[in-house]
Amino acid sequence: MIELRNISKSFGANHVLRDVSLKVDQGKSLAIIGGSGTGKSVTLKCILGLIKPDSGEILIDNQSIEGQREAFFAKFGMLFQGGALFDSLPVWHNVAFRLLQGERSKEECRDIAIQKLKRVGLQERVADLFPAELSGGMQKRVGLARAIAADPEIIFFDEPTTGLDPIMSGVINELIREIVTEMGATTMTITHDMTSVRAIADHVAMIHEGKVQWHGPVADMDAASDPYLSQFLTGSAQGPIEAVR
Amino acid sequence: MTYPIHILAAIGRATIAFFASIGSVTLFIAHTIRAIFAPPYYPREILKQFIAIGYFSLPVVGLTALFTGAALALQIYAGGARFNAEAVVPSIVAIGMVRELGPVLGGLMVAGRVSSSIAAEIGTMRVTEQIDALTTLSTDPMKYLVAPRTLAATIGLPILAGIGDVIGIMGGYLVGTTRLGFNSGNYITNTIDFLETADVTSGLIKASVFGFIIAIMGAYQGYNSGRGAQGVGRATTNAVVSASVLILAANYILNELFFFA
């Protein structure tokens, strides 16, 4: 279980997060939606410890994450927006990066990497290529394979479909859904792609101007009366959210 | 009335920024030294960087030393001729190369080649979230990226400078024997007789400090790179400029310490 309690963060006079509280239950998927620059990424980075919140508390299984990040990362995987693959290393080494630091032999790590690559729909020959030799969709798949390589209990997806064509987006969404279900992982996804939200998530939290504007199950989303959420869902230029930011 | 205040404010801002960057470089250095000594270690990365930084800098350092030694021999001969001291060419070439020009010019050339590539590589990794990815994969980027480069440059530069010293003296020898009419045997004897161990060690220690500066400035600028291609470009430029200036400043300070303290 992941819980954020009253997280606030400012950069100078810019209040990026104001008193954000969120909760994801074990084995559930939360999608965080909101326009660009509303604080979605900062929320994620606070959990990862890459940004230190000014106030508030982050709990993993009811324990504060402070001082426990190593333990947290050990059961954690993440798909980065641009893939963030290490371009100096071949694909299989990227996928097996965490495994290679453990006790396992190189051959064993490579076998697991190839198995994970197959799971995300990539052939064995891809294993020895370098990330720069792959298409955008393939890079996402490799990023996904790396995120699940060590069978994590918690997975974060940062804009998993950004930059992909609609069909490839659909494929990646489906893969994420399948893999998360079969692994039983707890996940958080940042996105502004509503197709993605409907495909991946159980719950939705909409962040606007650093605050949680709406929070609820995906099924309740369309019937919700929140004007901010409705505007976001319809993608209208008219409404409470200013179109010029 | 507000005009002088604006000037004061600008001076104040610049001063604060200056001290802030000194502070953050110092912290970065402390962090790097801790990362070098504390496990886990990445021997494969160290070896990889040693080859990238040391081995592939050999042509640059070798050519720099060769031409510097050759030019030095001509200059000293021409200068020495004014008071009939042409005979000092072998010893001055050797001392000049080993104590000063080998490490400093070698260091500056490697700064151009290596600081920039470290800054560009780490900067690109920062911009494309690869450094964040390392953290989430339970790998400390300071240990995995910065420590191996720093170690490789700190050990690699004295070796490069040593090779540069030999090649530089050889450059002087070639000019001396073919153009200035020195006897080959005499030239070598003069070189060896006048050179002291302290000349060599001081040069090598300086090179090691320069290596440290080169890697640290490249890594620091890359690590704190701004966004996008422009950010990485600026980091690369800053790395080369700051490494070069710091090498020259450190060279002066070390000369004071070695020879006048």
Cβ contact, residue pair B130, A81, below 8 Å: no
Cβ contact, residue pair B137, A50, below 8 Å: no
Question: Quick one: pLDDT at residue A240?
Answer: 85
In A130-149, the residues whose Cβ lies within 8 Å of chain B are 146
The pLDDT of B50-55, averaged and rounded, is: 96
Rounded to the nearest angstrom, the minimum Cα separation between B131 and chain A is 8
pLDDT over 90 percentage in chain B: 93
- Token pair in block for residue A127: 């294993």
User: Does the pLDDT value for residue A103 go beyond 90?
Assistant: no
> CA nearest B144 in A: which residue?
A101
What residues of chain B lie within 8 A of the CB of A70, using their CB?
138
Could you tell me the pLDDT band of residue A10, with boundaries at 50, 70 and 90? Answer: very high
Q: What is the pLDDT of residues A25-77, one digit of tens each?
A: 999 999 999 888 788 888 999 999 999 999 999 999 999 998 889 899 999 99
Cβ contact, residue pair A97, B137, below 8 Å: yes
Q: For all residues of chain B together, what is the average pLDDT?
A: 95
- Residue A73 has a CB neighbour count (10 Å cut-off) of 20
Burial degree of A183 (CB within 10 A; 0-12, 13-18, 19+): middle
| CB-based burial, A33-50: b 16+ in 10 Å, e otherwise | bbbeebbbbbbbbbbbbe
Cβ contact, residue pair B40, A80, below 8 Å: no
> Could you give the ipTM of this predicted complex?
0.90
Question: Quick one: pLDDT at residue A239?
Answer: 82
Q: What is the pLDDT of residues B227-250, one digit of tens each?
A: 889 999 999 999 999 999 999 999
User: Does the pLDDT value for residue A243 go beyond 80?
Assistant: no
The size of the A-B interface in CB pairs under 8 A is: 43
Question: Quick one: pLDDT at residue A238?
Answer: 82
Could you tell me the pLDDT band of residue A241, with boundaries at 50, 70 and 90? Answer: confident
User: Does the pLDDT value for residue B53 go beyond 60?
Assistant: yes
CA-nearest of B152, B154, B158, B140 to B34 is B140
User: Does the pLDDT value for residue A129 go beyond 60?
Assistant: yes
Give domain status of residue B32, yes or no. Answer: no
Q: Which residues contact A172 (CB under 8 A, 6 or more apart)?
A: A137, A140, A141, A144, A160, A161, A164
| Overall domain count for chain B | 1
Rounded to the nearest angstrom, the minimum Cα separation between B106 and chain A is 27
Give domain status of residue B3, yes or no. Answer: no
Give domain status of residue B164, yes or no. Answer: yes
Enter the CATH code of domain A1-68+187-245: 3.40.50.300
Question: Quick one: pLDDT at residue A244?
Answer: 59
Of A50, A82, A98, the CB nearest to B137: A98
Of A73, A76, A82, the CB nearest to B129: A82
**Residue B132 in contact with partner chain A when CB distance is under 8 A:** yes
Domain span including residue B135: 42-260
Work out whether the CA dihedral B11, B15, B20, B22 comes out positive or negative: positive
Q: Which residues contact A91 (CB under 8 A, 6 or more apart)?
A: A85, A113, A117, A126, A127, A128, A129, A130, A131, A134, A142
Give domain status of residue B28, yes or no. Answer: no
Could you tell me the pLDDT band of residue B261, with boundaries at 50, 70 and 90? Answer: confident
Give domain status of residue B251, yes or no. Answer: yes
Question: Quick one: pLDDT at residue B46?
Answer: 96
Could you tell me the pLDDT band of residue A223, with boundaries at 50, 70 and 90? Answer: confident
Give domain status of residue B55, yes or no. Answer: yes
> CA nearest B130 in A: which residue?
A84
**Residue A103 in contact with partner chain B when CB distance is under 8 A:** no
Q: Which of A145-159, B77-91, B204-218 has the highest mean pLDDT?
A: B204-218
Q: What is the pLDDT of residues A72-102, one digit of tens each?
A: 999 999 999 889 999 999 999 999 999 998 8
Q: Which alpha helices (H) appear in chain A, and where do they start and end?
A: 40-48, 69-74, 91-95, 97-100, 106-119, 136-148, 166-183, 194-200, 218-221, 227-234
Q: Which residues contact A50 (CB under 8 A, 6 or more apart)?
A: B132, B135
